[in-house]
Amino acid sequence: MTREPSLAINVLARIPSGRAVIADKDPALLAIANDLAEADSRIKTAEVDLAQGDWTEHPLISAGRFDAVISSTALHWLQPGTLVDVYRRLPGLLYPGGIVLNGDHLSYSDRHESTLASIARDDDKAMQQETFIGSTDTWDQWWQAVADTPPLRSSFRAPGRGLGCRTARNTAEGHTRLPSRSTPQRRLQ
């Protein structure tokens, strides 16, 4: 399995004096994160479930404030009410002037948010074409590689089994379409 650098590794490459806490609940992703943490003392891992209200009480999260909270391909699995709760808790984890960056894919309603839905579809199509022209694994290929990697095999749990994916619907193209995030976005404005 080709292990691309994690988001934490990329951030720390740009901020060498930084430290990172990788938080996840998936055993396979935590195993990968633990490998990264073993190789880099600036990285710590926290097993947390954002759908549980006590995730901010984890010692690595509650121990101090952060300059930034950065997420990618993690928050879209949450139910809308849970996502709103997570967003409401994040400012309390930040230093004054801190930032929350969410690089996740969000879906929009064609009926209520047609312009945003069109922009998101066009952007997703361009990103898919650009990304998968080369040797980058698709989502399914990446998870299969995780399942096929001996050290990770024992911690592998197929996406959709206990990972909050029950809200996802598979489309004819084989992609996962998630419910619109318009409701939580409006609540947060």
Measured CA to CA in angstroms, residue 28 lies from 32, 34, 134, 157, 170 at distances of 6, 10, 25, 7, 22
- % of the chain residues with pLDDT over 70: 77
Residue 182: per-residue pLDDT: 39
Angle at 134 between CA 170 and CA 118, to 5 degrees: 45
CA distance 136 to 35: 21
Is the per-residue pLDDT at 130 higher than 50? yes
**Average pLDDT, stretch 173-183?**
36
Q: What is 7-106+138-167's CATH number?
A: 3.40.50.150
DSSP track, 109-167: -TTT-HHHHHHHHHHHHHHHHHHHTTTPPPHHHHHHHHHHSHHHHTT---TTSSSSGGG
Four-point Cα dihedral 145, 148, 151, 155, nearest 10: 90
Tokens found for residue 66: 């952060």
Give Cα separations from 26 to 22, 82, 116, 163, 174 (angstroms).
12, 17, 31, 7, 22
The Cα diameter of the chain in Å comes to 48
pLDDT, averaged across the chain:
77
Q: Is the dihedral of CA 82, 85, 86, 87 positive or negative?
A: positive
Name the one residue in this structure whose structure tokens are 């396979």. Answer: 28
Q: What is the pLDDT of residue 54?
A: 94
| Domain residue extents for the chain | 7-106+138-167
pLDDT reported for residue 7:
86
Model pLDDT, residue 42: 95
- pLDDT value at residue 180: 39
Block residue for tokens 């312009």: 115
